[in-house]
Amino acid sequence: MSDDERKEALERAGQDIHWLLSFLGPNRESFLSLPELEVLQKLFSQHFTIHGQAVRLEKEAATGKEKIQSPHDPEARYSTKRGKSWTGYKMHTTETANEKGEINFITDMVTANACERDNETLPQIQGNLEECELKPEQQFVDKAYITGDNLADSQEADIQLIGEASQLDNKGLLTADEFSMDYESKTATCPAGNTSYSWKEFETGKHKGDIQISFGKQCQDCPLKDKCTKNERGRILRLHRHYQLLKERREECKTESFKEAMKRRPPVEGTISEMVRSHGLRRSRYRGLAKNHLQNLMIGTAVNLKRLVKAMSMSKNSQKQQLAAV
């Protein structure tokens, strides 16, 4: 089916939905309390618009936590990551990080909305581990889980969160990391030696305590202006309230000790690959988040059982070697 044929078929379906909803008449509200019709109403309002007597398919938004992608599974969502797109869910796996040669076991699995960012799921993962009395002293994570808030919250929870922080990219201009910050005096110094004239806290969204630093007119005569800012009002830095933690982590990422420590994380990538190749992880057998989570738990249990058998076998072989040595 071509794109034009697909669009035409969807608009016919939209026309049918519009007719059905219009047919409900004066009892519309009571009918819409039925789950099936409620989903249909949401689906129509999110994907179609009415133009006179015609129903037109709107251009689909790439993502949206509330946007229904299919009436067959109202909880499935569209998402993209690293050039791949899918409609469904997102699964997060946690396992032990033992020394090389030792067997790791899965300790937690979270099935989440596909539109939910990885860093938003970390508090739930840590909460699950603590509830099961498996709270780690160190937790090795992908860079997608590293944010200022997660670093700060992990510190407060006595968890050393270890993962690479994304490097700053200011499109060729000087980044905030190249400025010196003095939090006690609430001043910043730029690479040219100029000191900020304004340092104030502000609130954006759910973040309180973010910082805005301004350098003002002194930037006009600065020899580094072309490498720093195109703003006629001078350079303005807007920093997250936990910016310093992120800056320290970016510097730490360059050390050999950090790179050596991060070698403990790659095995979990192999675990995900194993679940995909051997257990069909990326194919939903059911509809709805709860049932898909159950499917994922069963897959994780199967992996752990295989590893338990392997661990028991290794233990028996070790005992035989010890007896032979005697």
Strand partners, 140: 162
Q: How far apart are CA 214 and CA 200, in angstroms?
A: 9
Q: How far apart are CA 24 and CA 171, in angstroms?
A: 55
CA atoms within 13 A on the CB side of 9: 6
**Rg of the chain in Å (alpha carbons):** 27
- pLDDT for 170 equals 80
From residue 142, alpha-carbon distances to 84, 257, 268, 269, 326 in Å are 18, 17, 10, 10, 46
Q: How far apart are CA 58 and CA 200, in angstroms?
A: 43
- pLDDT for 314 equals 80
Residue 325 has pLDDT above 60, yes or no: no
Q: Which amino acid is at 317?
A: N
Mean predicted lDDT score pLDDT of the chain? 90
Q: Give me the mean pLDDT over the 73-100 stretch.
A: 91
- pLDDT for 22 equals 83
Q: Of 199, 197, 163, 198, which is closest to residue 183 (Cα–Cα)?
A: 199
Q: Give me the mean pLDDT over the 108-126 stretch.
A: 95
Question: Whole-model pTM above 0.95?
Answer: no
Q: How far apart are CA 284 and CA 106, in angstroms?
A: 20
Express each pLDDT in 142-201 by its tens digit.
999 999 999 999 999 999 999 999 999 888 899 999 999 999 999 999 999 999 999 998
Structural domain spans, the chain: 3-57, 77-164+256-316, 176-243
- pLDDT for 62 equals 44
Strands (E), the chain: 48-51, 54-57, 77-81, 84-95, 106-113, 138-140, 160-162, 180-182, 187-189, 198-204, 207-214, 236-239
- Helix, strand or coil, per DSSP, at residue 153: helix
Express each pLDDT in 14-53 by its tens digit.
898 888 888 887 777 777 788 888 888 888 888 888 888 8
Q: What residues contact residue 265 under an 8 Å CB cut-off, 6+ apart?
A: 97, 140, 141, 142, 162, 163
Q: Give me the mean pLDDT over the 68-94 stretch.
A: 91
- pLDDT for 324 equals 59
Q: Give me the mean pLDDT over the 204-233 stretch.
A: 88
Q: Which amino acid is at 302?
A: A
Q: Of 191, 198, 202, which is closest to residue 229 (Cα–Cα)?
A: 191
Q: Of 275, 86, 136, 296, which is closest to residue 125 (Cα–Cα)?
A: 136
- Helix, strand or coil, per DSSP, at residue 16: helix
Express each pLDDT in 269-298 by its tens digit.
999 999 999 999 999 999 999 999 999 999
- pLDDT for 51 equals 85
Q: How far apart are CA 147 and CA 136, in angstroms?
A: 19
State the pLDDT confidence band at 203, using cuts at 50, 70 and 90. confident
Q: How many CB atoms lie within 10 A of CB 202?
A: 11
The DSSP code for 170 is -
State the pLDDT confidence band at 322, using cuts at 50, 70 and 90. low
CA atoms within 13 A on the CB side of 55: 20
